[in-house]
Amino acid sequence: MHLDLRVMNVLVLTDFSEISEHILKYAGTVLHDREVYFTLLNIQLPCSNFNCRGECKDLTEPKFDKNLKTIKPFLDEKHTIKPLFLEGRYIESIRKTVESHEIDLIILGNSHSYQTSNASELDKKTFDIITKIKCHVLLVSKYSEIKIPEKFVLPTDFSISVDHKLFSIIKQLYSVETSELSVLSLPKSDKMSERQSLTKERINRIVSNLDFEYIKNINAANDNLHTEKMFDSGIIFARNLSIFNRIFSKSHQTAQHISDKHLPMLFLHG
């Protein structure tokens, strides 16, 4: 049972595709026992046709209706969902919505239709949302299984400082009391610096207070990992760009297993 009874404001991005419908089903399933206000957002560039007279917005209404029908079986009485159509620049429109609606979490998909030079498995829009907007992001692949996760992995090289506040979204989002968390060490070298060792100790102290049923530390260099059996969801520090790039690249086999298995990934901002 969740201890935080505050209404959670969740922004779900939609382009009315099959991926968007999959995301909606996932969001309703994972947040089934939370009091949530969903904002379902579609963004389009401003219409260049001066005779449009709002037709662009009118054309989205039946598409929104279809999305709402898709998610309805996955919602419960604690859920409220409202559609929102905006014309404007993509990132700026999301940023303004996050601020005006006091959004706690963005949920989006990854189309893989565009690639960035340093994150080869993410499309550019997804990469920009995760790195440029100060809000927690839950990334759901179109291949992610629709279920409540129970086995989480937190890959890190302990190179960035963290605090308790950064982790608060985890207990808002998930019932962790019957789940396990693996802190996966992906070291850059064989020996950690003093700062990395202190960060590792701090992370272990913080996660020990999250009420996971079971927490363990594993090392990618030493442990034989079978991610398809060990994990069903990932947690990543959004500012930990070195880990970010290793997971979404072809160069690090263990790290990329996490991406390959299409695990839903929660990117923590703070």
Structure-model confidence comparison of residues 262 and 86, the more confident one: 86
Most confident of 42-56, 102-116, 150-164, 255-269: 150-164
pLDDT band at residue 51 under the 50/70/90 scheme: low
Q: Is the pLDDT of residue 222 over 80?
A: no
What does R_g of the chain's alpha carbons equal in angstroms?
Answer: 19
Most confident of 38-52, 76-90, 175-189: 76-90
Specify burial of residue 113 (Cβ count, 10 A radius: 0-12, 13-18, 19+): exposed
Q: Is 236 exposed, middle or buried (0-12, 13-18, 19+ CB in 10 A)?
A: buried
**CATH classification (class only), 151-264:** alpha beta
At residue 91, the pLDDT reads 94
Q: Which residues pair with 236 in a beta bridge?
A: 267
Would the pLDDT of 63 be above 80? yes
**pLDDT of 117 above 50:** no
The sign one gets for the Cα dihedral 102, 105, 109, 112 is positive
**pLDDT at residue number 90:** 92
pLDDT of residue 5: 54
CATH H-level superfamily of 8-140: HUPs (3.40.50.620)
Q: In percent, how much of the chain has pLDDT > 70?
A: 83
What are the beta bridge partners of residue 216?
Answer: 182
Q: Return residue ranges of the chain for CATH 3.40.50.620.
A: 8-140
Q: CB within 8 A of 174, min separation 6: which ones?
A: 30, 148, 149, 152
What pLDDT sits at residue 246? 76
CA distance 94 to 190: 41
Mean pLDDT of the chain: 83
What is residue 113's predicted lDDT score, i.e. its pLDDT?
A: 46
Residue 2 above 50 pLDDT? no
**Would you place residue 116 in the very low, low, confident or very high pLDDT band (cuts 50, 70, 90)?**
very low
pLDDT score recorded for residue 247: 76
Q: State the average pLDDT over residues 3-27.
A: 87
Give the global pTM: 0.88
Residue 171 half-sphere exposure toward CB, CA atoms < 13 A? 20
Chain-centroid distance of CA 243 in Å reads 15
Asked if the model's pLDDT at residue 114 lies above 50, the reply is no
Residue 223: other Cβ atoms inside 10 A: 15
CA gap 129, 151 in Å, rounded: 26
pLDDT at 41 exceeding the cut of 90: yes
- Please give the Cα distance from 179 to 158 (Å, whole number): 23
Quick one: pLDDT at residue 3? 42
Read off the tokens for 195: 């700062």
